[in-house]
Amino acid sequence: MRVVGRASIEEALARIDVLESIAQGFVAYSSDRAVVPPVGELVFEEPPGDVHIKYGYLRGDEFFVIKIASGYYENPKLGLPSGNGMMLLFRQRTGEPAAVLLDEGYLTDVRTAAAGALAARHLAPDPVRGIGVLGCGVQARLQAEWLRAVTDCRRISVWGRRAERIDAYREEMAARGFEVQAAADPSEVAASCNLIVTTTPATEPLLNEAAVRPGTHITAVGSDTPAKQELDPAILARADLVVADSRSQCLVRGEIAHAVRAGLLDQQRLVELGEVIAGTAAGRSSGDQITVADLTGVAVQDIQIAAAVYRALPPE
């Protein structure tokens, strides 16, 4: 069994087409070729945090994967990263452990950002005039970085709760070639951007329906537990297209779950991202549509990125 640290994992990632790997995973999931049980979850109140255990396999593949990822949102006050974790690979045929990927949560961050880029590739308007970002953390940075692959837009409007984190975000993203403006509130973000990514652990809606303009795409990333929520459910009711990374998972967690429970969204309207990627369901079909992608994080993403990293490692 190999034990692989983050530095080696990052080197291996540079040799992988992550977008293609994650896209294939979503297609496999929506084609019923993935076995993905419900998410295991621990939620902590003091201090606030959560731990997700996601696991599964693709039929006929070499491995099965168990991923443990944590998010402790007050860790930055202690000088610690908010996320951590590891991925465990086992061989399907024998159950033998193949590798422990001590990625410190990095692979989860990357596969989440890659999913956001895939959603934008198929659902964002053309052209993207402005990228709106709610939040200033790791995903707020990575989502914008990975959008480079699908849009030429480099203008960001960002909103966050703390001025010092907004300033740090602006400085870091400016160094990466983005023009960043701070917004006073989420509605101001929506007023100037037609591609919005929400990346916070909020438990009450940040963005209201009245603020969203026709022609906007929203990728909702932060709401990955039943309690979290970033969007007014009326946004999903108004949207022309609502896309789930997983229908079954989004009915118990994420923005879709809140809208369905409120009686504002018929679950029969839902399509999956894998169906859109495969072309078995339509993506954006006109410039004035409002589209929403609810990304709660599916184990198939972990399966794909973990296996790809393992295969890209140099021989021992």
Say whether both 136 and 243 belong to one domain: yes
Residue 128, pLDDT score: 98
Boundaries of domain holding 241? 122-297
Nearby residues of 198 by Cβ (< 8 Å), 6 or more positions away = 134, 135, 206, 207, 218, 219, 220, 221, 222, 223, 230, 231
Do residues 275 and 201 make contact, with C-beta atoms less than 8 angstroms apart?
A: no
**Same domain as 228, residue 206:** yes
Residues, the chain: 316
d(CA 207, CA 189): 9
Residues 78 and 208 in one domain: no
Task: List the CATH number of the domain containing 60.
Answer: 3.30.1780.10
Average pLDDT value for the chain: 97
Task: Indicate whether 76 pLDDT > 90.
Answer: no
| Shared-domain flag, residues 270 and 210 | yes
Query: What is the number of structural domains in the chain?
Result: 2
Please, which pLDDT band fits residue 316 given cuts at 50, 70 and 90?
Answer: confident
| Residue 95 domain-assigned (yes or no) | yes
- The alpha carbon of residue 181 and the mean position of all alpha carbons in its chain are separated, in whole angstroms, by 23
Catalytic position from the list 54, 67, 77, 228: 67
CA distance 243 to 118: 12
- Token pair of 295 as six digits: 């990304």
- Enumerate the β-bridge partners of residue 218: 196, 292
Residues 175 and 259 in one domain: yes
Q: List Cα–Cα distances, 136 to 37, 141, 154, in angstroms.
A: 31, 7, 16
Residue 73's pLDDT band (cuts 50, 70, 90): confident
pLDDT tens digits along 27-71: 999 999 999 999 999 999 999 999 999 999 999 999 999 999 999
pTM: 0.95
pLDDT above 90 (res 197) = yes
Active site residue 67: yes
Residue type, 63: F
Determine the pLDDT at residue 77. Answer: 87
212-269 pLDDT, tens digit per residue, is: 999 999 999 999 999 999 999 999 999 999 999 999 999 999 999 999 999 999 999 9
